[in-house]
Amino acid sequence: MMDLLIPDKTHDESRQGEALMLKAETAKNNGRKLYIESYGCAMNFSDSEIVASILAESGFETTADYSVADVIFINTCSIRENAEQRVRNRLKEFTVAKVKNPGLVVGVLGCMAERLKSKFLEEEKLVDVVVGPDAYRDLPNLINQVDDGQKAVNVLLSREETYADISPVRLNSNGINAFVSIMRGCDNMCSFCVVPFTRGRERSRDPLSIVAECRDLFDRGYREVTLLGQNVDSYKWTSLQPSPKERALEGQIEAGVENDKSLRLGEVGGVNFANLLEMVALIDPDLRVRFSTSHPKDITDEVLYAINKYDNICNYIHLPVQSGNSRILDLMNRTYDREWYINRIDAIRRIIPDCAISTDVITGFCSETDEEHKDTVSMMDYVKYDFAYMFKYSERPGTLAAKRYADDIPEEVKQKRLTEIVAKQQEYSFYRMQARIGRVERVLIEGFSKKSDKDYCGRSDQNAMVIFPVGENYKPGQYVNVLIERSTTATLIGKVIPQTP
């Protein structure tokens, strides 16, 4: 896999395999330790926070050291074959821990668990529990089954589960930005994609619980939320009748809800994504709102106008194109063609001046010719993306493409095409970065830069990483204006200038 210039944290290479830490409430402490690490997209990292929260409720403490754990969970990704291979290699490393501690429970969660189901138990003898993304509430019970000497599997997918009432514990967090899941699953059936099979049907989470979670984060000092879903533009909530659980949740934020003008927006005719963005934006002008992932077929002008209307909704859209060729897009079942995608890009440029755009591209999809590949290259020339995640096509068992089309592009050709677009993207990333030189960016300070504690880092509205010297008058969690002096392909470098009133 070649992920170029990770622009946001939706699939952050540096976080792959990250472990989570949390202390159990002392009253409930059962003396057992949980180790959980996550792979794949932001949704998985967000789910691990829900899992940690569920297990903390049953008395588990978390540890960052798997050799002292009583339960090891690995939250997995199936999107490409190499993602699965990585998990299998990691499981081998846990074998030693199991030999040392035969009572150790090893569980596989997430997309790979859902895809392989009980086959996982046959293939990997080490594994005791297999749990799909909609079955995490059952985890304490499944662990009990393993304690009783059985293996345990729950891979039931749900049409309703959104974990709306579970407040995720924020782990390994900088206390400034957080992911908030707004929907689960995907109904799109892109032919290359395993997600509809591993994460089930699309369902949206109650907007009241989303706003409550974001408000709570803001009150606790967070300054940026990223609203997460496989396809945020198809977010739809048609009933504002809170369930008893949601009422209980509202109870916790009672005063806020009653006086909250943002919540009135959605009272008539349901809530779509544009409405939801506004509801979250209205929590406070100092709360930045980001979102991922948008779908070209569903992103409406209404959403674009909402982004433009609120300064705190960031001018940054991740709009996966996958291919620039209409025949390939059709085979991919993306339900848009090249012209439609270009129309959406033009709409973004028209409605939101100065909006950064990033994308996902797949090279070497079934039957893709050199000419068709050139259409992807020319799309990159047209849009001049700020960032891109680029992948070689990897056939996934059970998908429509695996059933219908031959994976007939030789590995070297896939690689050659990938190398070509990676080089092209480098050029455009640098071009976009250079265009910011001499401008002033509003940056939310996230912490020290990776390289030096003499510098802070943070993101601009357009999601570019900005580095600037540490100063006495500002600290992480605050906004500063940074005059950009130079850039690399991935970073802007500058100095803080006084805020204009």
Contacts of residue 469, Cβ cutoff 8 Å, sequence gap at least 6: 454, 455, 456, 495, 496
Q: Which CB atom, from 223 or from 318, has the smaller least distance to ligand SF4?
A: 318
Q: Is 196 in the site for ligand SF4 (CB under 6 A)?
A: yes
Q: What track of x and - describes contact with ligand SF4 for positions 230 through 249 (by CB under 6 A)? A: xx------------------
| Alpha-carbon gap, residue 122 to 113, rounded angstroms | 12
Q: What track of x and - describes contact with ligand SF4 for positions 164 through 193 (by CB under 6 A)? A: ----------------------x-xxx--x
Judged by beta carbon distances under 5 to 8 A according to partner kind, the member of ligand 5AD, ligand SF4, none in contact with residue 394 is ligand 5AD
| Alpha-carbon gap, residue 301 to 344, rounded angstroms | 9
Residue type, 280: V
Cβ(236)–Cβ(201) below 8 Å: no
Judged by beta carbon distances under 5 to 8 A according to partner kind, the member of ligand 5AD, ligand SF4, none in contact with residue 336 is none
We find the least distance from the C-beta atom of residue 298 to ligand SF4, in angstroms, to be 9
| Alpha-carbon gap, residue 380 to 161, rounded angstroms | 38
* Residues in region 394-453 near ligand SF4 by CB under 6 A: none
Q: Which CB atom, from 11 or from 459, has the smaller least distance to ligand SF4?
A: 11
Q: Which CB atom, from 195 or from 379, has the smaller least distance to ligand SF4?
A: 195
Judged by beta carbon distances under 5 to 8 A according to partner kind, the member of ligand SF4, ligand 5AD, none in contact with residue 79 is ligand 5AD
| Alpha-carbon gap, residue 34 to 20, rounded angstroms | 9
Judged by beta carbon distances under 5 to 8 A according to partner kind, the member of ligand SF4, ligand 5AD, none in contact with residue 188 is ligand SF4
We find the least distance from the C-beta atom of residue 495 to ligand 5AD, in angstroms, to be 36
Cβ(127)–Cβ(98) below 8 Å: no
We find the least distance from the C-beta atom of residue 313 to ligand SF4, in angstroms, to be 22
Judged by beta carbon distances under 5 to 8 A according to partner kind, the member of ligand SF4, ligand 5AD, none in contact with residue 87 is none
Pairing of strands 271-272, 236-237: antiparallel
Per-residue buried b or exposed e for 295-329, using 16+ beta carbons within 10 Å of the residue's own CB: bbebbeeebbebbbeeebbbbbbbbbbbbbbbebb
Query: Strand, coil or helix: what is 489?
Result: coil
Cβ(175)–Cβ(444) below 8 Å: no
We find the least distance from the C-beta atom of residue 110 to ligand SF4, in angstroms, to be 14
**Binds ligand SF4 (CB under 6 A): choice among 203, 295, 392, 417:** 295
Instruction: Name the nearest CA neighbour of 17 among 72, 58, 60, 81.
Output: 72
* Residues in region 330-359 near ligand SF4 by CB under 6 A: none
Residue type, 176: I
Judged by beta carbon distances under 5 to 8 A according to partner kind, the member of ligand SF4, ligand 5AD, none in contact with residue 104 is none
Q: Which CB atom, from 290 or from 295, has the smaller least distance to ligand SF4?
A: 295
Alpha carbon 83 to chain centroid distance? 16
Q: Which CB atom, from 63 or from 322, has the smaller least distance to ligand 5AD?
A: 322
State the residues that interact with ligand 5AD by CB under 6 A. Answer: 79-80, 192-193, 320, 322, 360, 362, 391, 393-394, 396
Q: Which CB atom, from 184 or from 424, has the smaller least distance to ligand SF4?
A: 184
| Alpha-carbon gap, residue 243 to 105, rounded angstroms | 35
We find the least distance from the C-beta atom of residue 195 to ligand 5AD, in angstroms, to be 7
We find the least distance from the C-beta atom of residue 393 to ligand 5AD, in angstroms, to be 5
Cβ(128)–Cβ(139) below 8 Å: no
We find the least distance from the C-beta atom of residue 1 to ligand SF4, in angstroms, to be 15
User: Omega before 63 cis (within 30°)?
Assistant: no
We find the least distance from the C-beta atom of residue 303 to ligand SF4, in angstroms, to be 16
Q: Which CB atom, from 154 or from 230, has the smaller least distance to ligand 5AD?
A: 230
Contacts of residue 117, Cβ cutoff 8 Å, sequence gap at least 6: 130, 132, 153, 155
Q: Which CB atom, from 193 or from 282, has the smaller least distance to ligand 5AD?
A: 193
Q: Which CB atom, from 231 or from 429, has the smaller least distance to ligand SF4?
A: 231
DSSP assignment string, 395-435: --TTSHHHHHS---S-HHHHHHHHHHHHHHHHHHHHHHHHT
Cβ(284)–Cβ(310) below 8 Å: no
Site for ligand SF4 (CB under 6 A): how many residues?
A: 10
Query: Which chain residues interact with ligand SF4 by CB under 6 A?
Result: 186, 188-190, 193, 195-196, 230-231, 295
